[in-house]
Amino acid sequence: MEWGISWTPRGGTVKAWTHVARTDAITAEVIRMAKAVRDRNPATPVPTCPAWDLRELIVHTGGIHRWVTAMVRDLAPTRYERAEMDLGIPELAGEHASWLEAGAAPLAEALRSRPPEAAMWSWGGDQHVRFWSRRQLHESVIHRVDAELALGIAPEIDETIAADGVEEFLDVLPYARWRPQLAELHGGGDSIAWQADTGAAWLITLTPEGFRYERSSALGDVTVRTATAADLMLLAWRRRSYEDYAVEGDVKLLQWWVDRSAI
């Protein structure tokens, strides 16, 4: 059984995400990113990834695509060491955009060639191929946005992709074990609501065991209101600040969550 989200934006149509649908969407996102960065200064700083310039962002994104391609192709039972792989990174900066784009087709081919329920290693809770179609879609979206923001381009994210992206963030968050602060994400029932004018809404509840979430338009102890699910996705991944939106309730609780949920 595939994990997915079926959500109807106000005035829109239902989108049921599947492994194949996510795989198709990855290719479009990579092409959009490659188009944005082509012939741009590789030394352009990337404010949303402060340690990187545009070249490093491209190399990271294209490298992840090739790393995942190899693991999915082999149904790898353990993690491959990306640093030990020959990723074919070009020496000339002018070739980076084409190299990034060239990684999309092999990734899509590998994902389509394996059943979504096939077992393999992942760093998340879903140890199947389908983890990687979902993860690579949203990784590609966020890094495409990083590039566009660095270049002064106003980013746009499809609402149904963004809604799935919010839930994917909440699904993988407990497994980002390289972030010790995540161990503090628990509580006694405090709640955080994320609500978009398009109809997407989630309620996050802190429990003694961690946190849970549900699709709900209920108010939380603190509620963030945005125009779109895309805003909420960017907020979740810290590409936007909650200060950019309307916030009602316990702002200290929201800041506490933001400080501990960064991955």
Angle at 77 between CA 73 and CA 81, to 5 degrees: 80
The values of phi and psi at residue 234, to 5°, are: -65, -35
DSSP string, 138-167: HHHHHHHHHHHHHTTPPP---HHHHHHHHH
Rounded Cα distance between 144 and 86, Å, is: 23
- Do residues 82 and 39 both lie within one domain? yes
pLDDT one-digit tens code per residue, 132-190: 999 999 999 999 999 999 999 999 999 999 999 999 999 999 999 888 999 999 999 99
pLDDT one-digit tens code per residue, 44-54: 999 999 999 99
- Do residues 135 and 210 both lie within one domain? no
- Show which of 112, 132, 156 is a domain's final residue: 156
Q: Residue 210: inside a domain, yes or no?
A: yes
In the numeric block, the tokens 């077992």 are attached to: 119
- Do residues 152 and 173 both lie within one domain? no
Total number of domains constituting the chain: 2
- Do residues 123 and 199 both lie within one domain? no
The values of phi and psi at residue 175, to 5°, are: -100, 0
3-state DSSP: the chain helix, strand, coil percent, rounded to 5?
A: 50, 15, 40
Q: What percent of the chain has a predicted confidence (pLDDT) above 70? A: 94
For residue 27, give the CATH number of its domain.
Answer: 1.20.120
The pTM (predicted TM-score) of the whole model is 0.93
The token pair that represents 177 in the structure block: 């074990």
The whole-chain average pLDDT of the chain stands at 94
